[in-house]
């Protein structure tokens, strides 16, 4: 496994969903994001952007190695199933490779698990072979038992990845939540990935999550098809470390 800071940073960079879900995201910012995604020492695994930007991103990135992910039912998780399915289909038609769906987690916490599962199932039906990541919003849960139950629900309903957070709440990704999610994944009889997202700002932050994946799933498990980071400012931190700089802290949002 990687031993130097530069090696650890290179590993994390290849697993990054370079993200701009800011309120001020615009076409100029999208062009810059796409350029960063494929620049040296990249590429990253994917970009994660607003649905309105998918078609433009596809025109910029073409059929290159960087996937295009977008979000639905984001960030509140309160839209209707019909509206979310329609949004997912529109994004996929525009060229999205991956859908990051916010689980209706408030509904889930109220005990209405079937309604929450129905949304995941319907969106996965719309995705077909395309990747569906289900955002649990674990930082808003009262305990890890709920994280475990939500993970099981999302996977049973068809999730290809389970993701910690939107990055839009006071509490985002955490190592205890990620451990719980990985334990659920380890018990599943099919490939399911993990995406820690929100609050991952340093190389040490990223290495902590990768260390968990290595411990629970084995050192060869965490690749772009099974593990992603959702972050924006982390990209520059990793690039700087690979170039020989110090492992500073990201300054960007999300």
Q: Which residues are catalytic?
A: 100, 163, 195
The neighbouring-strand residues paired with 55 are none
Is residue 27 classed exposed, middle or buried when 0-12, 13-18 and 19+ CB atoms within 10 A define those classes?
exposed
Query: What gap in Å lies between CA 85 and CA 24, rounded to an integer?
Result: 25
Is residue 248 classed exposed, middle or buried when 0-12, 13-18 and 19+ CB atoms within 10 A define those classes?
middle
Query: What gap in Å lies between CA 154 and CA 239, rounded to an integer?
Result: 33
* Closest to 176 in 3D by CA, of 230, 203, 125, 216: 216
């Amino acid at each position: 496994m990687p031993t130097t800071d530069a090696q650890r940073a290179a590993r994390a960079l290849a697993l990054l969903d370079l993200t701009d879900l800011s309120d001020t995201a615009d076409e100029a910012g999208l062009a810059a994001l796409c350029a960063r995604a494929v620049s040296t020492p990249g590429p990253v695994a994917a970009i994660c952007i607003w649905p309105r930007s998918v078609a433009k991103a596809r025109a910029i990135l073409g059929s290159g190695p960087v996937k295009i992910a977008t979000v639905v039912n984001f960030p509140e998780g309160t839209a209707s199933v019909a509206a979310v399915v329609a949004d997912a289909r529109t994004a996929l038609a525009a060229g999205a490779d991956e859908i990051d769906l916010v689980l209706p987690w408030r509904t889930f916490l109220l005990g209405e698990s079937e309604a929450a599962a129905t949304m995941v199932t319907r969106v996965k039906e719309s995705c077909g072979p395309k990747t569906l990541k289900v955002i649990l919003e674990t930082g808003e849960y009262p305990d890890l038992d709920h994280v475990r139950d939500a993970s099981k629900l999302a996977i049973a309903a068809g999730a290809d990845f389970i993701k910690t957070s939107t990055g839009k709440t006071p509490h985002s990704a955490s190592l205890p939540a990620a451990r719980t999610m990985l334990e659920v994944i380890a018990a599943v009889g099919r490939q399911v990935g993990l995406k820690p997202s929100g609050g991952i700002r340093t190389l040490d932050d990223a290495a902590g999550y990768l260390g968990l994946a290595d411990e629970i799933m084995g050192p060869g498990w965490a690749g772009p098809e099974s593990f992603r980071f959702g972050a924006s400012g982390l990209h520059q931190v990793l690039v700087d470390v690979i170039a020989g700089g110090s492992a500073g802290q990201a300054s960007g949002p999300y």
